[in-house]
Structure 1
C-alpha cells in the first residue's frame, strides 16, 4: 500500500449511503480532496479522465492507495455520548436507572472537577472513538465548565470534529449536594462562557468545534434554568441537546409537573428548534413527531441504551416517514460500547423485535409488535451512523460526494484474527459491506482520516 505524507487524492474502493435505504459502491474510484479537507472530485474507474488524474497525483506524491483487501467507509457520526461516563462503560447496566445514577454516575461525574483527571479520561475517550472510526462526536460533558472546555480542546488537537456542552443540572431537589450547578443564574452564565470558548476553539480547529446548550433532562433542572437556556438558544442559535421521552419515569415526572409531556414542555421553554438533538425518544407519539419534523428537531437513536434503560424501542421508520432527522448514538455509558459498528448492529436487531413483539407466550397478534414496515435494514442503519447523523447536525459530512468533508476509515478485511473475506463465497458488494458492518473489530480499522488529515494509523504502531 502506498501512502503519501500529505495525501490530496485517495484511490481504492469505497462504500457510502448518499440516500436512505440504498448504498453506493465506488469501485476503484479516485477521490480528490482540497487543502481545506473537502472533497473536490470523485472520478469513477470507467471515467476516461481517471488514468491521467491518477498519473498526476502519483507523480506529485500526493496519492494514498487503500490497497488490496482494504475498503473505505465514511467516518462515523456519533450524536450522543456522555463523555465523563467513559470510566464506567459496561458497569452496572443490570441495575435500575435510579441506582445506576445515584451510586455510579453522579459520583463519577463529580470527579471531573479535577481538570487533570478530566483530561486523562477525555484524551483516552477521543483516541478510542477515533480508533473505531468515529470522526464526529456530540458530547455531553460533566457539569464542570473548565473540564468541558478541555474536552473541546482535546478534540481539536486530535482532529475529531466535535459538538460539546456542559451538562446543566441545577435543581437541589433532584441532584446530589456534591454535584450540581450552584444556581440557575450560574448555570446559564457558565453556558454562555462555554459558547464563547468553544466557538473560539472551533475557529482554530480544522475539523470544527461547536458549543451545545445542554440541560441534562427536565427532571434535573428548575423552570428558571430551562427558561434561561431556552432564551440563550434563541439569542445565540447554538445547538441544543437533552434527553427526551427516554423512559416511563421521566415521562411521568414531566407530565405530573407540567400537565404536558416532555416534548411540549421542552418546546414551551424554547429548547425545541432547528439544531436541537433529542436523545432516545421511544415514547414519542405521532403528534409529537409531527411537531419535531415541523421544527427541524433531530432524534439521536441509541438502540443499545434504550434496551437497558427505556424498556422500549424507538420507531425509527415511523420517525423517518414523518420527516424527522435521525442519527445514531452510542450513549456511552448507558450504551456499553464506544463502537458505532455495535450500535449499527443493535439498531437492526431491536427494530426486528419492535416489528414482531417479544412475548412468545402470546399469539402473534397480541405481542405488541408494530408489524410490516418497522424493521431497519443494515444499509438503513449504516445510513443512520453516517449520512443520517450529518443530516441531524446540518453539516456536510459522511458521504463521498463533492463539497463534503473527507472523513475516511480504512477497513482491512484480511486481518489475521479477523478475516472478513468470506473465502470468496457470496462476494457481491452488499455481502462485503455486511461482513464489514457486522464482523469488524477495532483491529480491522487501520487508518482514519478526519477532514483529509490522518488522525489514526494502526499500521504505524
Structure 2
C-alpha cells in the first residue's frame, strides 16, 4: 500500500461547482511530501479501513475532534498590505479625500523598512489567523519594502502574490508619494520581479511577483505600456483597479475614449494571469473581453459599499464566463476576514435584486436574477480565487494543495448553535459561513504545513 507523508481524517466542505458545495464526510485526506492532496478516500472506499489501521496511531495522522470541520483556506484576491495601518478609519469620506488624507501619507512611510516590517508582519499573521492562506497583495512604490513583504509571506508560510505599485503620473499623484519617473518605476519593477522569482525557488508554498499599476489614473501611458511588456517578458501576474467608481470610470473614458477594460488590454495588461479589483462598471463588452483574455474579477463587497457607488452584478458576470474571486480590499474594506466578505457578498446581491428605492414599484426596483447563495459566495472565497489565479488551491480534492482551516464549532466563547447530532451537514456548513468568528479557526495549514494555531484560551 502506498505510503503517505500525512493523513488527515474528518468531514470537509469544498466547492463541487460554482453553485454547489460538496460534503466530504469522515474522509481520509492523504498528502505527499509537497503538501499536495494525493488521494481522498471515503468510508466506503476499499482502502479506507486498511489505511486507518495503518496510520491512526502514527505521528503523521490527524483526526478532527467532534464539532470540528475542514474548510479550504481562503484566497483573498485584493489586499493593500500597507493600509492595514489605517484599517477601520474614515470610511465615511469620499474616496479621493480618503486616499489623500489617509492612504497616501501612510503608504509613503514604507520607505522606512522598520516601519514596513512591523506592519507587514502583522497583516500577514492576521490574515493567516482569519483563514486566508493565499493573498494577492498591493505593496507600495518602494522596491525594498515590497520585497520585504514577499519575504515575510515566505517566512510565515502564506502563499503571497506581491506587487510593487507603480504611480508615475505627476498629474494624479502627490509629489511626496510617487515614482521618481517612468524609467525608475519600470526598472524597479523588473528588479523586484527577478528578486521575488529568486525567493520563490526556496519557498514551498510559493511566492509570486505581480505587475501592479495602481490604476490607470496613477500611471502614464509609457508606464502602462512598459508594465504590459514586463508582464509578457516574465509571464507574471498582473493586478490593478478597474472601473471601480463613477470618478475613475469616467476619468478613463475622458482620457482614452474607452472603458478601463479595453484601455488596459491595449497596454497588454489583460491576460490569463490578470486580476482586476472591483469592476463595478463593466458593461457586457468589457465582460466578454475579460472572459476572452482569462482576466479575473476580484469582488470586494464590503469596500464596494463604501467607495464603488454601486453594486456589481456578480451573478450576471459569472453567467458570462468571467472568473471571479473575493477580496477584502483592506482597508477600503475594514475586515481582514473573508467570512465577513462572503456574508456581505450575499447581502449586496440581494439588495441589487430587490432594489433599494421604495418610491419605485417592486417590479422596477431591482435587477432580476442578481442574488447569489451562501454556497456561491463560499466558492468565490475558495475555488473561485484559485481558478482566478490558475493555481491548484481552494478545493479539498486530489492534486490540490492542502490549504485548510480547521473550524471548531464548540469553542465556549464562540459556540455555534448546533444542538442535534443528526443535523444536516449542509445546515452546519451554512451556520459556519454565517456565524464563525476568528476564535472558531483552531488551526490553519498551507501546503501541508501548520502556519497558525489558536490556543483554546484565546
Give the TM bin, normalised by the shorter chain.
over 0.9
Say yes or no: does 1:401 pair with 2:397. Answer: yes
Other structure's SS at 1:399 match = coil
Query: Which ranges of 4 or more aligned residues in structure 1 deviate by more than 3 Å?
Result: none
SS at match of 1:455: strand
Report how many residues are paired. Answer: 454
Listed as ranges, the matches of 1:24-423 within 5 Å are 24-367=22-365, 369-371=366-368, 373-423=369-419
Q: Residue 456 in 1 paired to residue 452 in 2?
A: yes
Deviation digits for residues 297-324 of structure 1, max 9, x if unmatched?
A: 1000101111100111111111111111
Deviation at 1:7, TM superposition (A): 6.7
- My pick for the range that moved more, 312-321 or 81-90, is 312-321
SS at match of 2:407: strand
| Contact 2:445 2:451 (8 Å CA) reproduced | yes
On the 8 A contact 2:5/2:32 being kept in 1, the answer is no
SS of the residue corresponding to residue 274 of structure 1 reads: coil
TM-score by length of 2: 0.97
Q: CA offset at residue 211 of structure 1?
A: 0.5
Native 8 Å contact 1:7 1:62 kept in 2 = yes
2:436 is aligned with 1:440: yes
1:3 aligned partner: none
Q: Quick one: distance in 1 between partners of 2:424 and 2:161?
A: 37
Deviations 1:166-185 (A, max 9, x none): 11001111111110000111
Give the conservation status (yes or no) of the 8 Å contact 1:414–1:421: no
Q: CA deviation at 1:46?
A: 1.9
Q: Deviations over 1:313-370 (max 9, x none)?
A: 1111111111111000000001000000000000000000111211112212332x21
Is the alpha carbon distance of 1:54 and 1:437 closer, same or farther for their aligned partners in structure 2, counting shifts above 3 Å? Answer: same
Deviations 1:213-268 (A, max 9, x none): 00000011111111111111222211100000000100111111111111111111
Q: 1:139 to 1:312 in 2, by over 3 A?
A: same
What is the DSSP-based 3-state SS (H/G/I as helix, E as strand, rest coil) of the residue aligned with 1:438?
A: helix
Counterpart contact for 2:5–2:30, Cα < 8 Å: no
1:424 correspondence with 2:426: no
Q: Within 1, Cα distance between the matches of 2:171 and 2:320?
A: 37
TM superposition score normalised by structure 1:
0.97
Cα contact 1:240–1:277 (8 A) shared by 2: yes
Structure 2 gap ranges (5+)? none
Distance 1:65 1:460 in 2: 17
Query: Gaps spanning 5+ residues in structure 1: where?
Result: 1-5
Q: Quick check: 1:7–1:64 contact (8 Å CA) kept in 2?
A: no
Contact 1:421 1:432 in 2 (8 A): no
Question: What's the Cα RMSD here?
Answer: 1.3
Contact persistence 1:156–1:208 (CA under 8 A) = yes
Shift of 1:446: 0.4
